[in-house]
Amino acid sequence: MKALITGGAGFIGSHLAEALLARGDRVAVLDNLSTGSMQNIRELKKQGGFEYVIDDVLNQRLLAEMVDDADVVYHLAAAVGVKLVVESPVRTIKTNLEGTQVVLEAAAKKRKKVLLTSTSEVYGKSTRIPFSEDDDLLIGPSNKGRWSYACSKLMDEFLAIAYWKERKLPVVIARLFNTVGPRQTGRYGMVIPSFVRQALTNKPITIYGSGKQQRTFGYVGDVVGALMALMDAKDTQGEIFNIGNEVEISIEDLAKLVKKMTGSRSKLVYIPYDDAYEAGFEDMPRRVPNLTKVKQCIGYQPRTQLAETLQNVIEYERVQLKA
């Protein structure tokens, strides 16, 4: 089996590539390194069955060749992170919409199964907790830039389902809830690597908003295993699945836990959303997945608890700081 991973030099993509190679698959990665890094796939380059191309998913001729040469396609290439989305809404919309359309069109010509990674952001301002895949979605107004990401990924989902219904392209959609682990960067607003690095350097741990907002965090190893199982399963075409962890923690308590686990002298500093992102920025008090569907389909069960996840990230960041 040969898998093509768009965005394969990114945080999740590189872990997915590693897992696929470990089970004996061949892997091709396409990444423009806008948010990915060669460091993420440095060790993979030494393995047989691995190849990579540094180029954009919008290079249709190249993409068509790589899709033709693959058995399945994992489409992870996207604009990611709240900070990037707020600062670069044009790039966010263009990358997500056009990139997905190009991938689906190329895959449809040869009927190659596609797994599209979406996001919990599509649930928007919904207060129906936990979020289920068939829930109504409540997106904020178009003059609030942070919702451009949610809308672009939701349109990706609509387009993928349309290709399934109209052209019988086998496609499965995974809505990810705060995937975390080693190699994730805090550069674009990812909370755990940001907290860990701040704590390890004894700098202020910056909490946006009140810190009372609650989130769940899925370990990248568990999430990648689910992506592979959804791709391998025969009855997932045209379906949407939540993937993540159901255990909640407030961002404030998360910061305190990181501080304790690192033995840090950092102070907790609270920054208003308007100062951190943009005037009128909206955030959700809770975001929790209902995992019933994915558990029933592939037996998914998040195995890595938050403390272990944090310890893995702390160890990774310690090494990076010494490098």
- Could you give the residue numbers annotated as active site? 149
Count of CB atoms situated within 10 Å of the CB of 50 = 20
To which H or E segment does residue 258 belong? helix 251-262
Specify whether the CB–CB gap between 304 and 222 falls below 8 A: yes
Six token digits for residue 249: 């923690």
DSSP H or E stretch at residue 256: helix 251-262
Matching residue, tokens 């698959």? 25
Q: What is the largest CA-CA distance in the chain?
A: 58
Surface-to-core class of residue 290, CB atoms within 10 Å of its CB (0-12 exposed, 13-18 middle, 19+ buried): middle
Task: Single out the residue of 91, 130, 102 nearest to residue 30, CA to CA.
Answer: 102
- Phi, psi angle pair for 103, to nearest 5°: -65, -45
52 Cβ partners below 8 Å, 6+ apart? Answer: 8, 9, 28, 29, 30, 31, 41, 44, 45
